[in-house]
Amino acid sequence: MGVEPGGPLRGMPSEPGPLARHILSLADTKRLLGIRYSDWILGSPSIETGIAASSMAQDEWGHARLLYSMLKRLGFDPVAVEQDRPAERYYSAPALDDPFPDWAAFVAAAVVVDGALAVALESFSHGNFALARSRVPKMLAEEEYHRQFGTAWFARLAGAGGEGAEHLEKAARAMLPSTLAWLLPDDSAYAALVAECGIREAGWVRARCEDRVGAALAGVGIRLEEIRAERVGWDRERRRGPGAPREEAVERARGDRNRALFVE
């Protein structure tokens, strides 16, 4: 979009505060997860799973839009935030930087990344930011279908053994360290967010994540309490590890190719 990686963006303060960074982290992750889910509307194991992938993608995009709209209260232009940022200015979880190579990775992400997102949202809804308290509970109600779908498929692939279970375990293990770091950034900005907005502290978040996704992961021999967050090359501004989503996915998320067709 012609924006320098470290330069100012239209409608976005040069140094977002802790709350804005938290909202961007949630919204960008949902936006990219929706893109990754949509890749499997065709090519999933059945028509029914393709329909489920479509439904889950639409949920994520709708949730992202609601989260971006909260930024207006903080002095941002939500439209500019959605449409003008290059990939290297995204705050999304690193596990979504690349497409899912197979259905097992889709299922792993539905448990690991979607589960972490739900925990982060639950924490956010318990804080004192009024828009989160009013809007996030509905998102969490819709996320329950994602949890049921993900855990059911995870158990199915894990129980079948063989190549499917191997791919599932490999994908989950690859996603977990960076996703835990994204969920619990362990930096001063997160501590400031806890103090400013009253969201849940790190210990609660970690325990809730273990409770939500730990049982599913145990099906392929993964003990979540033994997985450590990976913060090598940590980017404090974007609250994630190095790298960025593929530009192609961000172009799709921004709607670049169809922007000229929009009619006011």
| DSSP secondary structure string for all residues of 61-108 | HHHHHHHHHHGGGGT--HHHHHHH--GGG----GGGSS--SSHHHHHH
What percentage of the chain exceeds 90 in pLDDT? 84
Q: Which of 151, 30, 36, 11 is nearest to 92 (CA)?
A: 30
Q: What is the pLDDT of residues 117-129, one digit of tens each?
A: 999 999 999 999 9
Q: What is the pLDDT of residues 162-174, one digit of tens each?
A: 999 999 999 999 9
pLDDT at 11: 60
**Letter for the amino acid at 52?**
A
Partners of 235 in the beta sheet?
240
Six token digits for residue 52: 């489920």
Phi (first) and psi of residue 49, to 5 degrees: -70, -30
- Give me the chain's average pLDDT, please: 92
- Per-residue confidence band for 187, with pLDDT thresholds at 50, 70 and 90: confident
Query: Is the pLDDT score of 254 beyond 60?
Result: yes
Can you tell me the distance from the alpha carbon of 26 to that of 207, in angstroms, rounded to the nearest whole number? 19
Number of H helices, E strands in the chain: 9, 0
Partners of 68 in the beta sheet?
none
For residue 51, how many other CB atoms are within 10 A of its CB? 12
Six token digits for residue 173: 């293990």
Can you tell me the distance from the alpha carbon of 8 to that of 21, in angstroms, rounded to the nearest whole number? 15
Q: What is the pLDDT of residues 70-120, one digit of tens each?
A: 999 999 999 999 998 999 999 999 999 999 999 999 999 999 999 999 999
Cβ atoms of residues 90 and 32 within 8 Å: yes
Task: State mean pLDDT over 214-222.
Answer: 97
- Alpha carbon 83 to its chain centroid, in Å, reads 18
Can you tell me the distance from the alpha carbon of 149 to that of 153, in angstroms, rounded to the nearest whole number? 6
Query: Is the pLDDT score of 209 beyond 50?
Result: yes
Can you tell me the distance from the alpha carbon of 201 to that of 194, in angstroms, rounded to the nearest whole number? 6
Phi (first) and psi of residue 14, to 5 degrees: -65, -30
pLDDT at 3: 40
* Strands of the chain, DSSP E: none
| Residue at token pair 């994630």 | 240
pLDDT at 42: 96
